[in-house]
Chains A and B, each alone.
Chain A
């Protein structure tokens, strides 16, 4: 319980820090636009940041001698058949981009069914494949070696503590049939952990803001939601729809309970999404300070750069911590929800 309390405290802190980061972004975006009216070149910090945390139809890696180096990715659109093209040729196929940078039909302006392999989808494929290979490689060690006689070596030694941490968490929170749910919790934990760290990594193949994307965290939370509610015991459903309460509460309680059941995945979604997004925005803001102050003379630029780098290092370290904690919290809460759904009458 104390652990949960501490983690929730940390969570709160992470959220407030995140909000502070967001506030800073706005300020950072506002100050130059007011102060640099006389300058011709305007830095749109908000755009830079949102470009980094958003999705794209190509993977922009860097600029080299004025030319953008990017991996072109296939756009896959289903509207009167399947159309596959790259973003450069969108116009040829009758598509254009709306103000959010999404593909829309050039004539109607409507969004088609868009299954494009975007930057986030590619990062998703890469990180999930990486996870698959690493875990299967670890499993291979246990198949090839007699784990009863030998201590794990190499990759197995690195992965075993992580997997067993989640496995033990499942055993503590779920109860006797925890083995059925342990693989899902391991998968969710390692997947979130991998993607959180790949998100912090600033260069290819990291840098995609996957766990800070609400679609991703929504899917994760829905997986947990269905795992919980498809495995609920009679006792669990009785507690929701016919709890043991005084008569006048009988009609109210099911409403509250159903609402709380639905709020659980929503809170999982938003907690992970907001924490990771806030972390990315904070770090990007810190880096952007350097470019904002670049035109204010060497003294200010030098001192602000120093401050920016120091804060950047601090925030990066903080984000490493948050990356682990958020993966842990998501898994912990999932296991607790599953444990509640597996409760039996005492």
Chain B
């Protein structure tokens, strides 16, 4: 039948036209397109790989960052604690020192007061002694206006002196 016998003219033209266009496209058509798309695919592959790598590195960084943050926080709290301790110590020291100073001052003041008191007492005593001597002079002058009484007084003095000697 006509349908299943290949026609020579059509065979000839098909070989010529298909062959020619195949030659042209195999040289100027398909390789250009496929090469470019292959390059693009390779680039996309590479980019994806790079992105994965970067992501992994980022994750690592994040962990490191977290660790660093944690460490810093620990250090911070340690420093804070230390600072608090130092502060407490300084305050305690200062208190201690102040107390010592105050004690010293108090002691000095007491000493001074005691000395003042002593000297004041001494002055008072001296004054009193002088006064008493004066009073005694006056009394003696009036009492020893007569001979008899003078004698009696002398005796008494001597007695007293004698007693004082024995005592000391």
A residues with CB within 8 A of B: 50, 53-55, 76, 100-102, 113-118, 120-121, 124-125, 128-129, 131-132, 135-136, 138-139, 142-143, 147-148, 156, 159-160, 163-164, 167, 179, 182-184, 186-187, 191, 213-216, 218-220, 223, 277
Contacts and interface: CB of A to CB of B under 8 A. Distances in A.
Interface of B: 2-15, 17-18, 21-22, 24-26, 28-34, 36-40, 43
B36 to A, nearest CB: 4
Contact of A132 (B2, B14, B25): B25
Contacts of A100: 2
A143 B32 contact: yes
A131 B21 contact: yes
B138 to A, nearest CB: 134
Contacts of B2: 50, 54, 100-101
Instruction: List the 9 shortest-distance A-B pairs measured between CB atoms, nearest first.
Output: A215-B6, A183-B26, A147-B36, A183-B30, A215-B10, A135-B29, A219-B14, A142-B36, A139-B32
B30 A136 contact: no
B129 to A, nearest CB: 122
Contact of B18 (A101, A138, A191): A191
B14 A216 contact: yes
A53 B3 contact: yes
A216 B18 CA distance: 10
A213 B5 CA distance: 9
Contacts of A216: 10, 14
Contacts of B8: 113-114, 215
A54 B34 CA distance: 37
Contact of A214 (B3, B24, B43): B3
A277 B33 contact: no
A54 B10 CA distance: 12
Given A124-B14, A139-B28, A116 B21 contact: no
Given A131-B21, A219-B14, A183 B29 contact: yes
A184 B26 contact: yes
Given A131-B21, A138-B29, A182-B30, 13 more contacts: A102-B7, A125-B17, A132-B25, A135-B25, A142-B37, A148-B39, A179-B31, A183-B31, A186-B34, A215-B6, A215-B8, A215-B11, A216-B10
Contacts, number: 130
A167 B32 CA distance: 12
B29 A136 contact: yes
Contacts of A129: 21
B14 A163 contact: no
Q: Which of A55, A160, A187, A191 is most buried by chain B, counting CB atoms within 10 A of its CB?
A: A187
Given A124-B17, A135-B29, A118 B9 contact: yes
Contacts of B34: 163-164, 167, 179, 182, 186
A215 B16 CA distance: 13
13 contacts: A50-B3, A55-B10, A114-B9, A116-B9, A132-B25, A142-B36, A148-B36, A160-B33, A183-B26, A215-B11, A216-B14, A218-B6, A219-B11
A115 B32 CA distance: 35
Contacts of B3: 50, 53-54, 214, 277
A142 B30 CA distance: 11
Contacts of A113: 8
Given A142-B32, A147-B39, A277-B3, A128 B10 contact: no
Contact of A213 (B10, B38, B39): B10
B20 to A, nearest CB: 8
Contact of A128 (B21, B32, B37): B21
A124 B6 contact: no
A163 B18 contact: no
A272 to B, nearest CB: 13
B15 A148 contact: no
Contacts of A121: 9-10, 13
B9 A163 contact: no
A6 B153 CA distance: 162
Contacts of A138: 29, 33
Contacts of B30: 135, 139, 163, 182-183, 186-187
Contacts of B5: 214
Nearest to A151: B40
